[in-house]
Amino acid sequence: MPTLSIAAMEKILKKAGSERVSKKAAVELSSVLEELGIQIGRDATELARHAGRKTVVGEDIKLARKKL
């Protein structure tokens, strides 16, 4: 079962212009976003460590996102 809520995925898809969203679509989006989030988190953690920090900051996330 996905970590991100189905309701949140439906809300995102509706903001993107969808009139109706199937549960399968919401579950799939949740899975994809979770995978992307984990990769961004790994990259951001690596950036923070490289900078000599234990704390990931917003800039690390922004930079990690650009790596995708």
Single pTM value for the model: 0.87
**pLDDT per residue as tens, the chain (68 positions):** 678 999 999 999 999 999 999 999 999 999 999 999 999 999 999 999 999 999 999 999 999 999 98
Instruction: Tell me whether residue 29 is exposed, middle or buried, using C-beta atoms within 10 angstroms of its C-beta: 0 to 12, 13 to 18, 19 or more.
Output: buried
Q: What is the pLDDT of residue 44?
A: 98
Q: Which tokens go with 29? A: 């989006």
Classify domain 6-67 at the CATH superfamily level. Answer: Histone, subunit A (1.10.20.10)
Measured over the CA atoms of residue 27, residue 65, residue 52 and residue 46, the dihedral's sign is positive
Domain ranges of the chain: 6-67
